[in-house]
Amino acid sequence: MVGSDSRFVVIADVHVLGEAGTEILQAAIRSINALSPAPDFVLVAGDFVECGAPREYELFTSALKGLRVPVRAVPGNHDLGNTDDLGRYARVFGDPCYSFEHKGHHCIGLNTCNNDPNPDNWHGKVETPALEWLRADLAKVSADKPILLFHHHGLVGPTQDLSCDVANAEEVLACFEGHKLVAAFGGHAHRLRLNCLGGRKFFLSPALSTTRKNSGGEPPGYLVVTVNSALVNASYEIVCMRAGT
């Protein structure tokens, strides 16, 4: 049985390159800390840095220390330098695929980054090890257990706007047949999107960035998500910078 409402925040595509790139993140953290009721956790849906460099990671993680709630993350292609190097990400955030229980929901963080060493291939693909992990994890989940999926590259919708940018998206979604996938949350497209498939909601959060613009013209912001036994709702919170920053 699903417990009390779950409330969490999704931020995506901060693309921290230098100290100036953290100012919008710090503004978002101040905004998130002021939310009432407070969120249960913050999901960072990938591309929190621009090139995967150590200094970018240091700047990003230092800013995150201001959050008053736990942080969950999934890797984006930029966090790996658009290559298959998961080393730095794993040292900071741990396994790129993981699951946890939260207020009656089974939550899954899934790595959608391809293992192509070519930095020009920034598109998504759930590689065989991640697929095998996903199938093994779902095998332990009862059919009536509601599931929330966290990822970076989009899984459902038009490919031209990157709503779907996982090469084997159909294979990934087929893993959830016979399971109660309620909603999924990602980034990557730099657009605010809600795409639906079979009653399931697939949300994409725009970029919370001053170094990268949103393709749909959205101002930087984050999603505030509320989930209960019957509904999944999300609102978009625009982040305002302090005067002079």
Least confident of 33-37, 140-144, 238-242: 238-242
In terms of Cα–Cα distance, which of 157, 224, 146 is closest to 182?
146
| pLDDT reported for residue 1 | 39
Question: What single-letter amino acid sits at 241?
Answer: M
Checking if the pLDDT of 240 tops 60, the result is yes
Checking if the pLDDT of 4 tops 70, the result is no
The arithmetic mean of pLDDT across residues 141-165, rounded, is 97
Checking if the pLDDT of 2 tops 70, the result is no
Whole-prediction pTM: 0.96
The arithmetic mean of pLDDT across residues 57-76, rounded, is 97
Record the tokens describing residue 130, joined without a space: 């991640």
Three-state DSSP class for residue 75? coil
What band does 243 get if pLDDT is binned at 50, 70 and 90? low
- The long-range contacts involving 199-205, CB below 8 angstroms and separated by at least 24 positions, are 200/156, 201/232, 202/154, 202/155, 202/156, 202/157, 202/163, 203/10, 203/234, 204/12, 204/154, 204/163, 205/10, 205/11, 205/12, 205/13, 205/45, 205/236
Q: pLDDT of 72-123, one tens digit each? A: 999 999 999 988 889 999 999 999 999 999 999 999 999 999 999 999 999 9
Mean pLDDT of the chain: 94
The arithmetic mean of pLDDT across residues 140-157, rounded, is 97
Distance between CA atoms of residues 108 and 52, nearest Å: 23
The arithmetic mean of pLDDT across residues 125-145, rounded, is 97
| pLDDT reported for residue 241 | 80
Q: Which stretch of DSSP H or E encloses residue 63?
A: helix 54-64
- Domains of the chain as residue ranges with CATH: 6-238 (3.60.21.10)
Question: What single-letter amino acid sits at 99?
Answer: S
Query: Nearest 5 degrees, angle CA 10-CA 74-CA 105?
Result: 65
